Amino acid sequence: MNCWNGEAYVREAIESVFSQSFSDWEIVFVDNCSADNSAEIATSFGGKVKYFKTPHNMPLGEARAFGIDKCCGKYLMYLDVDDRYRENTIDILLNEIQESNYLVVYSGHRNIDSKGSVIGRHNPSSKKGNIFGHLLSQFDVPTASLIMDLQRYKESGQTYDKAIVVSAEYNHYLQLAATYEFKCIDGELTDYRIHSGGLTSERAADLYNDRIITLDNIVKKHPQILENYPQQFKEAYARADYYMMRNFISNGEMHLARRILRPHIFSSIKYLAVFTTLFMPSLLRRYIFKFKYSR
């Protein structure tokens, strides 16, 4: 459980673990140098919550790696302090991964607002086995609804890349999926809290860089993989260029936005549609992007 100034929701998150029918667990609580009362709340729950404070404020991926190093169980799940488990979340995921060859099992989740009201749902399509090609085309692994075989993961040598700024999960699980089998099951097993909507211009360049680093690293590590998934890699690199296009738009560099997206307009109708918006008045384009192309 990663926390940075999470006092508003941390009690609710921890209580959702204590309310599970499965009880053989411990919480590794990572306090990422919070300046509020998060530590006091977390430590008030007793010995089943193992409290650790980072030596300095860390990016999400680095903080996750810090916490994983403190974990010693057979399986690992994540629950950030603003999210919460639903009834029997642990039992359901545990039953799917036990006695299987899957490194990771995950499901969907409900989106909730700051007050806990349901405002949407995320339901990845059910699939299992080698799903790397699917995740290249549409990455949909929600860390909030995931269980992982911790011992096999540690044996893999994979860890969170400190060079990744905002796409830690994309980088991490896509690299694991290149080697290991995953399974996605039906159901909305957690509540994932939405604080703000959409892609911000400040993140667009980082999303581009993170994706390029991730994809290039996978190709370097698995030289034949590009030949096995040519269309999926093409889409993955196109999505990276889409994010950089958004960065160019935010900087008023429309000629660069058109230039980076132009190579993709004949490969997919969606990129042709996006490219068309780049010639529209700015107010109309912002309206369309807000409601149609925010992700």
Q: Which domains does the chain have, with CATH numbers?
A: 2-193 (3.90.550.10), 201-292 (no CATH)
In the 8-state DSSP scheme, what is residue 264? G
Instruction: Check if the beta carbon of residue 2 is closer than 8 Å to that of residue 64.
Output: yes
pLDDT tens string 58-104 = 988 999 999 999 999 999 999 999 999 999 999 999 999 999 999 99
Helix 254-261 to helix 269-277 angle (10° resolution) is 170
Residue 126, SS3 per DSSP = coil
pTM above 0.85, yes or no: yes
Instruction: Check if the beta carbon of residue 168 is closer than 8 Å to that of residue 127.
Output: no
Q: Which residues of the chain have pLDDT under 50?
A: 197-201, 294-295
pLDDT tens string 122-159 = 999 899 999 999 999 999 999 999 999 999 999 999 99
pLDDT of residue 177: 97
pLDDT of residue 285: 76
